[in-house]
């Protein structure tokens, strides 16, 4: 994002809208620190500027900077996947797609969430740790895939190392017996990461909204706990309408 200096009146109204403090005063006007800005679009969408000095930067869709927008602005449609957002449909359409089936779990590492974001060198710490631990089952349909240069090492494309994103999701889908190993690996790499990430596990339910005890036991035995609120697919999708589109 840019602020047109010749128009800005330095009222400061746009500052609190920026989730990452990229907007600051400079010579009685406001300016956007291009290094810090995620291109999330919050300041522009707020329509708060009395003189319309806030504009998309001409470089916003240039590669690799464009990744900032694709992974930070929920309204941006990713050029590769044609999908708005960071992830796939994971659990939310699972009653139709059965992507995560019996005996399987999905794991999502939501890097940068909540609030803080992350530069891609930090995300590479996670992908490298996963690769070193022999975890290569990263969801192929997630736009994050496109950042990876070498699956065997977890290296991201070198030209991305200067970029930062507000959130990206690494999704992994495995048999349940791999869950313990993966949680352990993620817990270890958490110490190296200079930001935050949220960790999720999704699984089929047993009758009566019962989470499979085997899954809970693995989570607990790794010293982790689950929040009292969760995202629950109510099973109203009709799987027999599959593949009609």
Partner 1 sequence: MTHSLHREGTISSLERDYALFIYPARGFNYNGSGPKVRRIMELLYLEAPSNMIVSTLRRNLYSGVRPEEVLESIKDGARIYSAFNNREKLKEALVGIKKLDEGISVVVSGLIDQVREMAAEINLNPHTINLSLGIHGRTDRLPPPDIRQFTTMCGHGMVSPALVRDVIRRIKKGRLALWEGSIILAAPCTCGIYNPHRSQEMLHDLVPLYTVNRW
Q: Which residues bind ligand SF4 (CB under 6 A)?
A: 1, 3, 8-14, 17-18, 20, 22-23, 30, 32, 37-43, 48-51, 53-54
* Gap between the Cα atoms of 161 and 63, Å rounded: 12
Among 32, 68, 90, 139, binds partner 1 (CB under 8 A): 90
Among 49, 67, 108, 120, binds partner 1 (CB under 8 A): 108
- Let me know the angle formed at the C-alpha of 138 by 164 and 38, rounded to the nearest 5 degrees: 15
CB of residue 196 vs ligand SF4: minimum separation in angstroms?
17
Angle between helices 213-221 and 179-190 (to 10 degrees): 30
Residues 6+ apart with CB under 8 A from 25: 10, 12, 31
**Residue 156 binding partner per list ligand SF4, partner 1, none, with a CB distance cut-off of 5 to 8 Å that depends on partner kind:** none
Count of residues interacting with partner 1 (CB under 8 A): 82
For residue 171, give the 3-state DSSP assignment: strand
Q: Which is nearer to ligand SF4, 12 or 74 (CB)?
A: 12
For residues 36 to 75, the per-residue mask of contacts with partner 1, x marking binding by CB under 8 A and - elsewhere, is ----x-x--xx---------------------------xx
**Residue 45 binding partner per list ligand SF4, partner 1, none, with a CB distance cut-off of 5 to 8 Å that depends on partner kind:** partner 1
Half-sphere exposure of residue 199, counting CA atoms within 13 Å on the CB side? 16
Both structure tokens of 98:
């059965």
Q: Is 208 left (phi over 0), alpha (psi -120 to 50) or beta?
A: left
Q: Is 115 in the site for partner 1 (CB under 8 A)?
A: yes
Strand partners, 55: 2
For residues 116 to 155, the per-residue mask of contacts with partner 1, x marking binding by CB under 8 A and - elsewhere, is xx--------------------------------------
CB of residue 189 vs partner 1: minimum separation in angstroms?
9
* Gap between the Cα atoms of 13 and 46, Å rounded: 10
Q: Which is nearer to partner 1, 61 or 226 (CB)?
A: 226
What's the chain's length in residues? 245
């Amino acid at each position: 994002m840019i602020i047109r200096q010749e128009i800005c009146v330095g009222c400061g109204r746009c500052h609190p809208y920026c989730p990452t403090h990229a907007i600051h005063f400079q010579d009685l006007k406001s300016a956007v620190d291009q290094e810090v800005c995620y291109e999330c679009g919050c300041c522009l969408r707020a329509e708060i500027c009395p003189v319309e000095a806030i504009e998309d930067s001409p470089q916003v869709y240039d590669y690799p900077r464009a990744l900032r927008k694709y992974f930070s602005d929920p309204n941006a449609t990713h050029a590769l996947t044609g999908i708005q957002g960071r992830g796939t449909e994971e659990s939310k359409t699972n009653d139709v797609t059965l992507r995560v089936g019996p005996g399987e779990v999905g794991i999502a590492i939501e890097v940068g969430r909540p609030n803080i974001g992350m530069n891609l060198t930090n995300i590479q710490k996670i992908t490298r740790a996963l690769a070193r631990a022999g975890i290569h089952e990263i969801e192929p349909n997630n736009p994050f895939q496109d950042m990876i240069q070498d699956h065997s090492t977890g290296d991201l494309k070198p030209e991305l190392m200067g970029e930062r994103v507000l959130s990206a999701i690494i999704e992994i889908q495995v048999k349940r017996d791999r869950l313990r190993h993966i949680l352990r690996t993620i817990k270890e790499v958490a110490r190296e990461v200079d930001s935050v990430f949220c960790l999720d596990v999704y699984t089929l339910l047993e009758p009566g909204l019962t989470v499979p005890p085997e899954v809970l036991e693995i989570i607990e035995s790794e010293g982790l706990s689950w929040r009292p609120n969760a995202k629950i697919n109510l099973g109203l999708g009709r799987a027999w309408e599959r593949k009609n589109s």
